[in-house]
Amino acid sequence: MFCLPQYNAGFQTRAILVVTEDLSLIIPWCNRATLGETLLASLHALRDSRATVIVINCGGDLDALVASIPNSLKRALVVNVRHPFNKSLCLNIGIAVASTQLVSVMDADIAFSFDYLKKVTTVLSREGYFTTAARVRESEACAPLRVSHCGVDVHRYHQFTFRDGRKIRLRTGNTDLLTGLRAGPGLIGARRAALREVGGFNSSLTHWGWEDHDIQLRLIYLLGLKRREVGTVRHITHSDPARQLGYLTRAEASRVNLLKCMEAYDRGDFQGSYHNDIRISYDIHTVCA
C-alpha cells in the first residue's frame, strides 16, 4: 500500500526520509511496462542487499507505475516529477531524494543477479571508485558465432584531449561475439557525494545516449576516480521505439549528445545540471509496510 503523497520541492525532500539501508537504487521511468517484471526478478537481491528502490516517474502514468510495483517490495519510494521525460533530470532528482551514501543507477528493463548489488556496494565502500555493470545478458539472445578455439571481444574507445593537455581514454562499450554478453556502461554506481560534486548528470542531453559516458568522464577528470566493472544483469530486449530518439537514429542521437558534451568540455565546463534540476517540482510517495 502507498501512503498519501507528500509535496516537496528541491532541497526539502530529504527531510522526510529516514533510511538505514546500504544503497539507493535509482530507476527513471515513463510508461515502461517491464518494471514490474524486473523488480520481481530482482526481489531476492534487493532484500538481501538492504537496498531502497527509488523510481522516478517523469511524464508517465503514475497509477500504472504504482500498480506495477510488487507488494512484497517494502523499501521503495515513487517520485512523481512535473516535467516531460528526461532521463538525466530523473537521475539527478533521484540523487537528491536518496538518503544513502551510495547510489546505483538502473533501468526499468534491467534485472540483476543475486550478488550484483553486493559487488557494487563492496567496491564503493572504498574511496576512489565508481562502478558499471561488467556483463549484460539479453533476454532474447542472439545466435553466437560458430568459432571453437578463440574468443572474439570487440571493444570501443573514445580518447579525449582537453585544453589543459590532459588525456582520458574512455572505454564506451565491449561485446563478446561468442556469448553475446556486453558491458553495461549506463548502469553506474557511485558515492552520492561524488555525483553531486561533479554536478550530477546533464539534462541538456535530451536524446538517447552519452549521458552515462559524460558523467563517467567527468568523475575521472574532476575527481580522479577509477571505474570498476562488476556483476551480471539481464536486459529485456526491445526495439528502438522504446528509446528516446525523437526523429533521429540511435547513431545520430548519440552523436548529437557527444557533440554537446565536447562543446561544454571545450568551454571548460565539466559540471552537470544537478543544482538546477532539483528545483523542479515533484511529489514523493512512500511505500507503507
What is the pLDDT averaged over residues 100-121? 92
Model confidence over 54-76: pLDDT tens digits? 999 999 999 999 999 988 887 88
- Domain total for the chain? 1
- What percent of the chain shows pLDDT beyond 90? 59
Q: What is the CATH number of the domain that holds 274?
A: 3.90.550.10
83 inside domain: yes
More confident residue, 218 or 250: 218
Torsion, Cα 208 211 213 219, to 10 degrees, reads 180
With b meaning 16 or more CB within 10 Å and e meaning fewer, what string describes 222-247? ebebebbbbbbbbbbeeeeeeeebee
Q: What confidence score (pLDDT) does residue 38 get?
A: 93
Q: What pTM was computed for the model?
A: 0.86
Of the candidates 60, 64, 105, 106, which has an alpha carbon nearest to the alpha carbon of residue 83? 60
Of the candidates 204, 102, 213, which has an alpha carbon nearest to the alpha carbon of residue 168? 213
258 inside domain: yes
Q: What confidence score (pLDDT) does residue 174 get?
A: 78
Q: Which of 92-101, 105-114, 151-160, 260-269 bottoms out in mean pLDDT, i.e. has the lowest?
A: 151-160
Residue 265 has pLDDT above 80, yes or no: yes
**What is the domain extent for residue 238?**
6-286
What is the pLDDT averaged over residues 97-123? 93
Q: Which long-range contacts (CB under 8 A, 24 or more apart) does 3-7 make?
A: 3/285, 3/286, 3/287, 3/288, 4/285, 5/80, 5/283, 5/284, 5/285, 6/283, 6/284, 6/285, 6/286, 7/281, 7/283
Range of 135-144, 231-240, 260-269 with top mean pLDDT: 260-269
Model confidence over 128-182: pLDDT tens digits? 999 999 998 887 766 555 555 555 667 888 999 999 999 999 988 778 777 778 8
Confidence of residue 4 (pLDDT cuts 50, 70, 90): very low
- Beta-ladder partners of 13: none
More confident residue, 203 or 45: 203
Confidence of residue 10 (pLDDT cuts 50, 70, 90): very low
Q: What confidence score (pLDDT) does residue 60 get?
A: 94
81 inside domain: yes
193 inside domain: yes
151 inside domain: yes
41 inside domain: yes
Q: What confidence score (pLDDT) does residue 252 get?
A: 82
156 inside domain: yes
Q: Which of 104-113, 238-247, 255-264, 268-277 bottoms out in mean pLDDT, i.e. has the lowest?
A: 238-247
- What the block records as the C-alpha cell of 60 is 508517465
120 inside domain: yes
Of the candidates 69, 3, 83, 73, which has an alpha carbon nearest to the alpha carbon of residue 32? 69
Model confidence over 150-161: pLDDT tens digits? 556 678 889 999
Residue 8 has pLDDT above 60, yes or no: no
Q: What confidence score (pLDDT) does residue 5 get?
A: 38
How far apart CA 173 and CA 192 sit, in angstroms, is: 24
